[in-house]
A = this chain, B = another copy of it.
Amino acid sequence: MMINIALAQLNYHVGNFESNTKKIISTIETARSNGADLVVFSELCVCGYPARDFFEFKEFIDLCEDAALQIAAVCADIACIIGLPTPNLRHQGKDLFNSAYFIENGKVKAVVNKALLPNYDVFDEYRYFEPETNFSCIDFKGHRIALTICEDLWNTIENPLYITRPMDMLIEQHPDVMINIAASPFAYNHDTERIDILSGNCTQYNLPLFYVNQVGAQTELIFDGGSLVFDAEGNMLDELPYFKEHVSYYKLDKGENGKAVVSYQHTGTFKPHHTSDIEQIHQGLLLGIRDYFYKSGFTRAILGLSGGIDSAVVCALAAEALGAENVMAVLLPSKFSSDHSIGDAEDLVKNLGCKSETIAIKNITDSFETALHPQFNTLPFNIAEENIQSRTRGVLLMAMCNKFGYILLNTSNKSEAAVGYGTLYGDMCGGISVLGDVYKTQVYQLANYINRDKEVIPLNSIVKPPSAELRPGQKDSDSLPDYDILDTILMEYVEHRKSSSEIINMGYDEQVVKRVIKLVNTAEHKRYQTPPILRVSPKAFGMGRRMPIVGKYLS
């Protein structure tokens, strides 16, 4: 029997049952009017993903069930699949399952629990959930559905992270189609990996697949959508848009050989949405900024504008994400600020049309140095005075936040965050770090991408040598290797967890490698106290990388 399936790729808000439930119900009603028999939502859509330790509150679990009942109540003549946590009533193991409800005729017809629980990098699912060990297909209007949840399809034969594979058990019940609901966060290399693994499941089990991912950002995690449809040969039939909500419709029928056949309900000229890494990062950061503000109930951002490339890129992204009228750029020149820095910052403000203020910091840093004179006496100018400048800027920006209700955007990039080239409680302040997962070399690419149609970011901010301008004539290259070398070493150490000797064996200078790794290791205490970082890479600082602070590091 031919059925119509709608895939609903939506942006949820963790813990916001009112808005999530309303969105799910209104999507079901639209899908019904478009003739859908079944609407598929993403993993844990009822509460949003990741809900983290909200799962430890019984009230939260009860509200998930309440929401599911409200959703079931509108499904008298349409079926849907929703994701939510459910209590484990088996009296052993963790308190919860990560579940999917198959709702039909206004009732929960089947409950499927997730078997493979990701517990690496940013994932902590084994903290809350018991893995399922029993599996059943679901029969619906002449089709037998193998319904799984996200990671359940990710235990590949080449890289078996788990000792079971749910589809190996489900396939024995002769399903004719797979449905997978997911909450799979963005990293710039993740879309191709996802397509490969899902396509591989189709060829391995010889079944078509509907895959629905969450979209939208939840603090540091950005979900990119890009839901997918494959035929039984693993050919991609459709790829939903990235970084935005979308609902699309498909027909599922039986072919002459009795096998299920999927067709796109609409005109069907399928264009892959895949774009370059930098375009993806750009889109991801815009969504990350927008959802951070929207979901926390704020509208206006503030940041310190130095004339350098990092704060320029953050300012341009914020203006695009929030509207230039909602962005306040503050120039905070010191006696070491060069004329070109102030000029470049002013040019950017003009190009973007955002608001700006200028507050000179010299009198304040002088008053700090005067107050500390009895202690510092004749000791030479060093990092103490450098940091006073950076921290004075932090205090001024936070005072503006407190007085006017802005959220401060942190402008540190990943290279700086890695080597600790930043001042704790100074330029490391902020509500959210926009570029903390973007290496300096990628920041340049982002700047050029932002300038693809016209000069938004002043060329001079892009071409001049980077400097923190905390002492006369200072340049980043005084204390750090060139960024192309630095970023490659960081990639090998942070992303690939290589040892210093392995990196040296790749051809890098021993002294440079050891110095860089030592800088990374001694900056753990700083990174512990930095704002959440919008994650765009497979290994970001923050919840996905948990290093000891007081530990003896190898290099």
Contacts and interface: CB of A to CB of B under 8 A. Distances in A.
A360 B371 contact: yes
Contacts of A424: 398, 429
A402 interface: yes
A91 to B, nearest CB: 7
Nearest to A392: B395
Interface stretch (A65-73, A236-244, A381-389, A471-479): A381-389
A368 interface: yes
A424 to B, nearest CB: 7
A547 B162 contact: no
A363 B379 CA distance: 22
A532 interface: yes
Nearest to A545: B53
A22 B554 CA distance: 17
Nearest to A165: B92
A499 B91 CA distance: 23
Interface string A46-83: 00101111101111100100000000000000000000
Nearest to A391: B395
Given A63-B554, A291-B550, A372 B399 contact: yes
A163 to B, nearest CB: 5
For the complex formed by this chain, how many copies does it contain in all?
Answer: 2
A546 interface: yes
Interface residues of A, number: 95
Interface in A394-426: 394-396, 398-400, 402-403, 424-425
Interface in A335-369: 357, 359-361, 363-364, 366-368
A274 to B, nearest CB: 28
A496 to B, nearest CB: 10
Nearest to A370: B363
A219 B391 contact: no
A160 B553 CA distance: 37
A278 B391 CA distance: 37
Given A92-B163, A219-B549, A546-B53, A398 B387 contact: yes
Contacts of A518: none
Contacts of A223: none
Interface in A423-472: 424-425, 429, 431
Given A93-B160, A372-B403, 11 more contacts: A13-B551, A48-B551, A93-B162, A119-B127, A126-B126, A357-B375, A368-B395, A376-B399, A387-B402, A529-B530, A543-B546
